[in-house]
Amino acid sequence: MGRGRVQLKRIENKINRQVTFSKRRSGLLKKAHEISVLCDADVGLIVFSTKGKLFEYATDSWHYMGEDLDSLRLKELQSLEHQLDTSLKHIRTRKDKALQEQNNLLAKRLKEKEKESSVTRNQWEQVQSHELNSPSFGLRQPLSSLNIRNVI
């Protein structure tokens, strides 16, 4: 007994939608590979996620280059250009966000190190101050200056 047909409508739950996208994308990539191997076909597949992330598959002998776009009509070319622009914007936004996060992390680490350094410096200064103010500080004399007769 097989599964029932899935009603095709937008999945409202964001997590379930992402899981479904991931599973179906991998299934689609697998099918593209299978058809290229079984039928010796040149296959190219491009999938854009809702965030603009690009997923692609191409057989070794097939490359999607500018001259392969000659058969596309103006509207298709404009649509492809729009998708590429959107994806590029998403990629740049994600890259900028990653760089900003890395910058914030490094700034946080720097502040922590500066704080550690300040604490260590304060401790060192306290030790130095304590040694200078210690009553035994002035009693340090070389052994040659001590007179044993004065001690007895």
CA-to-CA distance for 5 and 25, rounded, in angstroms?
Answer: 19
- Is the pLDDT at 151 greater than 60, yes or no? no
Highest-confidence segment of 10-19, 45-54, 98-107, 124-133: 98-107
CA-to-CA distance for 144 and 24, rounded, in angstroms?
Answer: 90
Specify the DSSP class assigned to residue 7. Answer: P
Give the pTM. Answer: 0.41
> What whole-number percentage of the chain has pLDDT above 90?
38
Question: What pLDDT shows up at residue 82?
Answer: 87
Question: What pLDDT shows up at residue 150?
Answer: 58
Bridge partner residues of 55 (DSSP)? 47
CA-to-CA distance for 119 and 130, rounded, in angstroms?
Answer: 16
Tens digits of per-residue pLDDT, 19-58?
999 999 999 999 998 998 899 888 888 888 888 888 888 8
* Helices and strands (DSSP H and E) totals, the chain: 3, 2
Give Dmax (Cα) for the chain: 114
Helix, strand and coil percent figures for the chain, each rounded to 5: 65, 5, 30
Residue 59 burial (C-beta neighbours within 10 Å; 0-12, 13-18, 19+):
middle
CATH, domain range 12-60: 3.40.1810.10
- Is the pLDDT at 99 greater than 70, yes or no? yes
Tens digits of per-residue pLDDT, 102-120?
999 999 999 999 999 999 9
Token pair, residue 91, equals: 């990629």
Q: Domain ranges in the chain?
A: 12-60, 73-120
CA-to-CA distance for 26 and 19, rounded, in angstroms?
Answer: 11
